[in-house]
Chains A and B, each alone.
Chain A
Amino acid sequence: MRESTIMKIHYGTALGAVVLVAVHVLFRITMMNYEDSLAYENVLANYKYIPYAIMLELILVLLSVHGFNGLRVILLELKQGRSYEKAVSYGCIAGMIGLVAYGSRTILMASMGMT
């Protein structure tokens, strides 16, 4: 993939995450007071409301893609070398997939009531 395509994804995921996280925070502070919104039952209730669970899943994907690409960029600037750069790129893709898979599993389990 060309670096410009990767960076377009990087900027796009940042913008998307800012918007969705803002919606998420607004939900926390508008639906009820902040402390109550973090109570165990209320957090679980969020996951059972499917549109909200989809939004959380989207935030997870956007932040994972953006964060791991950011990490890749930082590591590429720290050190150079063909095998090192390959390891960093594949390592970041693996990390990203791992985090999305684990987070999705958590969201799925909570939304299905498997707690």
Chain B
Amino acid sequence: MSELSQTMAEEESSTEVSSSKTITLRIAKFNPEHDSTQQFADFKLPYERWTTVLDAILDVKKHLDHSVAVRYSCRQASCGSCGMKINGRPRLACFTKISELNSDVVTVEPMNNYPIVRDLVVNLERMFTTHKKMQPYVIREDTEITAPTKEFKQTPEELEEYIQFANCIKCGLCNSACPTMATDSSFLGPQALGQAYRYVADNRDKGKSSRLKIIDESHGIWRCHFAGSCSQVCPKGVDPAMGIQLLRGYLLGFRK
């Protein structure tokens, strides 16, 4: 056996695959217009090692129950549409393979802390409103457009300050995992606060003071308990919990 094929064989054997090749997919069904409680519909499905939870849900929708409501678009963890609770944890359905869950039962539910539109679809309006409230754009009086020779230069170190926060795809998983959002409906949330840090830490931006004023309110940044759940569930590796602590540094005068 060549070295390459031996390595591949080792990788294959080390990958954990559920012993059963079928799973039970439990889909939460709830229509707030008609139903008083959430029900679960169970479906037995075959799956392959590469089958994602979204593939399975779409398979159910195509062949077994057309009424399942699910929001999706890109299928490659870029659009942030298919956020849902999979086996109790907020994840992107397109980015979660059934084989990596190591369970014969996969339960999918709508994300916590959002109003349910239907089944797995939640209303993300409030998240987008708080996101917009953070002024998610570079604020300057001058512009590159009016003076074509002008550039807003940035060193790699300056870029490093905020670049991971620019990876946010607004899927809302962080807000769903946040324990403060579960009780405080007015809390800005880790998504918005992470985005506030993204622009505050950008050395091209001149809107720091206005953003800090927006987050410095009774349901703003100070209500974060630093549970860190937001950072744990982010599919893009963004660390909103750290961003929130760094923002607090600006407000307490430790950072300039």
Question: Which A residues are within 8 Å of any B CB, using their own CB?
Answer: 2-4, 6-8, 11, 73, 76-78, 80, 85
| Residue contact A80 to B216, C-beta cutoff 8 Å | no
| Residue contact B223 to A73, C-beta cutoff 8 Å | yes
Pick the residue among A11, A73, A80 that contacts B186 (CB under 8 A).
Answer: A80
Closest to A7 in B: B222
Query: Given the interface contacts A4-B252, A8-B252, does A77 sit within 8 Å of B184 by beta carbon?
Result: yes
Task: Give every chain B residue within 8 A of A4 (Cβ-Cβ).
Answer: 216, 222, 251-252
Binding site of A, secondary structure by majority: helix, strand, loop or mixed?
helix
Q: How large is the interface on B (under 10, 10 to 19, 20 to 34, 35 or more residues)?
A: 10 to 19
A–B complex contacts, Cβ < 8 Å, 16 sampled:
A2-B216, A3-B216, A3-B221, A4-B252, A6-B222, A7-B252, A8-B252, A11-B252, A73-B222, A76-B184, A76-B219, A77-B184, A77-B223, A78-B183, A80-B184, A80-B185
| Residue contact A3 to B183, C-beta cutoff 8 Å | no
Count contacts between A and B, CB distance < 8 Å.
34
Task: Give every chain B residue within 8 A of A76 (Cβ-Cβ).
Answer: 184, 218-219, 223
Shortest beta-carbon contacts, A-B, top 6: A4-B251, A77-B184, A80-B186, A4-B216, A7-B222, A3-B222
Closest to B185 in A: A80
Task: Give every chain A residue within 8 A of B217 (Cβ-Cβ).
Answer: 3
Chain B min CB distance to A73 (Å): 7
Task: Give every chain B residue within 8 A of A80 (Cβ-Cβ).
Answer: 184-186, 219
Pick the residue among B180, B185, B187, B218 that contacts A3 (CB under 8 A).
Answer: B218
Interface residues of B in 169-193 (CB under 8 A from A): 180, 183-187
Most buried by B among A4, A6, A11, A78: A4
| Residue contact A85 to B218, C-beta cutoff 8 Å | yes
Most buried by A among B187, B218, B219: B218
